[in-house]
Amino acid sequence: MTVRTTLSVFVMVALLLVAGCTGGSGSGGPSGAEATSIPAVTPSSDASESAASNHTPRGPQHGTEWEVTITRVVDGDTVEARFPNGELDTLRLLGVDTPETSLGRITPGEYGFPDSAGARDHLLAWGERATEFARSELAGETVRVEVDPRADRRGSFGRLLVYVSVDGANFNERLLSQGYARLYESSFSRRSEFARIEAEARASRVGLWGFDGRAATATASTDRGGELPPLPSDGDYDCSDFETQQQAQRVLDEDPSDPHRLDGDDDGVACESLP
């Protein structure tokens, strides 16, 4: 074999070896970098929006219960409140009705009382007391309110119909049990319980249920001015109906709310011009 032939064989073997190494490294699939590459996963916009909505403060148009701050007490059964989203709304306490605070709007028959001046004055006084009670318990407080799925969400005047809870106690029920309100006839889930509470307050003559148009006709002993004059046909005494101040004072003492307005200056003394 010549030197030329020997060199040719050597070159061919070297080329074959190089080609074999290159082919082995390229066979078998994707490179290491490609095998370990994982696409980045980004949250969908829908999922992000859903998570955000769970933490958005709700107003009165969404949900069934809220923690609200009472910003104003209108009367015994109506308040204004600020919701978690900052929105203000008027709330009407569900299932109860406190007396009106305007004499011209009072209807004694709703409470089973005779339609007399005495009954209207009595209810007016208790309407004012119910308002003061609500102010003392609710004004400025953060309370829990909830709608009833069996009742209308809003009343005829657009007010949100709710139960109000203060420190876990149902304030609607307290108005009934303490004689500040009557049961308001409507459809709601706690109606039977509210009716029972009202019946107990009536039977015990609690609060506004203590009114008795006949009470002022009772006979007194001689040291309290003698026998009282008959109650006028309109159910309303006037100072001119009495012969003595003691007689008028007896009527005032029997009902300090003064439905007959015998104590004009609110000093606790009735018909001071009488002898």
Residue from 120, 129, 159, 202 carrying the catalytic annotation: 159
- Token pair belonging to 39: 């696409």
The three-class DSSP label of residue 104 is: helix
Of the CA atoms within 13 Å of residue 10, those in its CB half-sphere come to 7
Give the C-alpha separation, 23 to 99, whole Å.
99
Residues paired with 163 in a beta bridge: 146
The answer to whether 173 and 197 have CB atoms below 8 angstroms apart is yes
For 152-221, give the DSSP string: -SB-TTSPEEEEEEETTEEHHHHHHHTTS-EE--S--TTHHHHHHHHHHHHHTT-GGGG--TTGGG----
- The catalytic residue among 92, 191, 202, 250 is 92
Q: 190 an active-site residue?
A: no
Catalytic residue among 100, 137, 173, 198, which?
100
CB 210 within 8 A of CB 111: no
- Tell me, yes or no, if 100 is annotated catalytic: yes
| Catalytic annotation present for 159 | yes
CB neighbours of residue 73 within 10 Å: 20
- Catalytic residues, by residue number, are 92, 100, 159
